Amino acid sequence: MLINFKFKNYKSYAEICDFTMLANKDKSHEENLIQIGKDKVSTTHIIYGSNASGKTSFINAIEFIKLFSIMSNRLMENSKIEISPFKFRENFSKIPSEFSICFVKNDLKYNYSFSCNFEKVFDEKLDIYYSSKPTNIFTRKNTSEYKFNRDVKFLNEIKSKNTKNKLFLLTAATWNYEKVKPVVDYILNDIIVLYDITQPTQYNIQYVIENNDFDEYKQFCLNFLNNADISISDFKINIKKVKDLGKQAAFVNNLIHFFTNNNEEQIKKFENSNTFNIQTIHQCNSNCYSLELAEESNGTQQLFYLAPALFYAFKEGKTLFIDEIDKSLHPLLVEYIIKKFHDKNMNQKHAQLICNTHDTNLLNLQLFRRDEIWFVEKNNFTASTEMYALSDFSPRKDENVEKAYLLGRYGGIPFIKGE
């Protein structure tokens, strides 16, 4: 479970953004919380803000940790790091961007942090909480200065294999240092980031089938669709090799040759890869009719896009970030999804949902705690995004927070100028 996420000097955020899932002392909606040791951690957070205020940049920041972790060991020694620092202050492109993530995995709390610019990693640190106090596993300063408090001989051997532009965490994992593997596993596999149906995601129908989870996934989907009042009684997956796509095969073949530079090994690999086509089944007047998924509404397509990630979030206890969760979905359907994360029978593995939205119907203290609603606002003088929680304003428990938000009481809204 995610506990805390901090970052600085990334995209629209010049100063520190300190985002926490830790619950405060508010006694409302205890069903939304999971007990972790002495702490209580929320299963859902929702973020509001005007257009171009930094909502998506926040999700980009957590995704950067994933992408840098994936790419770290693939970087050549002098390759650039694909970082996006704040651009509205001089020299911010030269100073390091900072990232820190605290989470619980397998009943242990981890705190991992690093800073980097385009050229190198400056600092890096990993603490593990075997007790209430942190145990430092490694500390890296000034790019090449390392301090090890455990397994010193082995880690000294590994550090010689690291380069200035790589994360030591990933280098250590590559060389089978067991203590860092849960951290890498959490970052790469337990954090899911979703945007919309135009963006590819690891958690798709192909992933479901390759992991032999289709029967369980199908039941999950049909239950979900039925409860969401969507008239799909069944669906099926048609799997074809790329080379067997009929009229489309020639077009695809030309693309393969173009993108692989006529590499025969790559061409054969592509030609033998699978494509997955979803057909939905509708019952009408005792008859069954099928539709291609592309013929369904945008909302139904969006549900099928979200479904694999939701399935694995609940099945394996993942942390799910969704940009504009309300896109093409009815507000009551979004509320239904959120309530599933609050449902302890459904959410037995402690999955979390962190999403942004413009749908003010969800600004409801009957659904969320006051520390679960967050706002982002861009400072007009500095052009930097600031992030804060509704609980900072100490609203009454019976306050109409939707109305107060639209009146500008909490910020995070556009101020429309008159003509």
Q: Convert the pLDDT of each residue in 354-401 to its tens digit.
A: 999 999 999 999 999 999 999 999 999 999 999 999 999 999 999 999
**pLDDT over 70 percentage in the chain:** 94
pLDDT of residue 259: 63
Query: What is the 3-state composition of the chain as percent helix, strand, coil, each rounded to the nearest 5?
Result: 35, 25, 40
148-179 residues labelled b (16+ CB within 10 A) or e (exposed): beebeeebeebbeebbebbbbbbbbbbeebeb
Instruction: Give the Cβ contact number of residue 45 at 10 Å.
Output: 23
The token pair at 53 is 């205020």
48-65 residues labelled b (16+ CB within 10 A) or e (exposed): bbbeebbbbbbbbbbbbb
Strand order in the sheet with 287-292: 234-241, 274-284, 287-292
My answer on whether 137 and 43 are in the same domain is yes
pLDDT of residue 414: 85
Could you list the beta-strand ranges (E) of 49-179: 97-105, 108-116, 121-129, 135-141, 145-148
Which among 371, 284, 276 has a CA at the least distance from the CA of 44? 371
Q: How confident is the model at residue 418 (pLDDT cuts 50, 70, 90)?
A: low
My answer on whether 7 and 128 are in the same domain is yes
CA 256 to chain centroid, in Å, comes to: 30
330 vs 58, 83, 220, 309, 318, CA distance in Å?
24, 35, 20, 19, 24
The token pair at 408 is 């500008």
* Residue 209, phi then psi, degrees to nearest 5: -65, -45
CB proximity list for 176: less than 8 A, separation 6 or greater: none
My answer on whether 233 and 158 are in the same domain is no
Q: Which domain holds residue 276?
A: 200-308
Q: Tell me the sheet residues that pair with 234.
A: 281
My answer on whether 291 and 328 are in the same domain is no
pLDDT of residue 334: 94
pLDDT of residue 253: 64
The answer to whether residue 256 scores a pLDDT higher than 70 is no
Q: Is residue 313 included in any domain, yes or no?
A: no
Q: For 135-187, write each residue's pLDDT tens digit.
A: 999 999 999 999 998 899 999 999 999 999 999 999 999 999 999 999 999 99
My answer on whether 140 and 274 are in the same domain is no
My answer on whether 188 and 204 are in the same domain is no
88-114 residues labelled b (16+ CB within 10 A) or e (exposed): eeeeeeeebbbbbbbbbeeeebbbbbb
My answer on whether 253 and 328 are in the same domain is no
My answer on whether 294 and 276 are in the same domain is yes
The token pair at 225 is 């669709």
pLDDT of residue 56: 97
Quick check: 333 and 300 in contact, CB under 8 A? no
Q: Please indicate whether residue 255 or residue 155 has the higher confidence score (pLDDT).
A: 155
The answer to whether residue 39 scores a pLDDT higher than 80 is yes
CB proximity list for 53: less than 8 A, separation 6 or greater: 12, 376, 377, 378, 385, 412
Strand order in the sheet with 191-194: 191-194, 319-322, 352-356, 44-48, 373-378, 385-389
My answer on whether 209 and 237 are in the same domain is yes
Q: Is residue 318 included in any domain, yes or no?
A: no
Q: How far is residue 288's CA from residue 124's CA, in Å, rounded to a whole number?
A: 58
pLDDT of residue 252: 60
Domain count, the chain: 2
Q: Is residue 278 included in any domain, yes or no?
A: yes
What is the average per-residue pLDDT within 108-127? 98
Strands 39-42 and 33-36 turn out to be antiparallel
326 vs 102, 180, 298, CA distance in Å?
28, 36, 12
My answer on whether 162 and 178 are in the same domain is yes
Q: Is residue 335 included in any domain, yes or no?
A: yes
Q: How confident is the model at residue 199 (pLDDT cuts 50, 70, 90)?
A: confident
The answer to whether residue 260 scores a pLDDT higher than 80 is no
pLDDT of residue 162: 96
pLDDT of residue 258: 66
- Please indicate, yes or no, whether the overall pTM of this predicted structure exceeds 0.85: yes
Quick check: 270 and 262 in contact, CB under 8 A? no
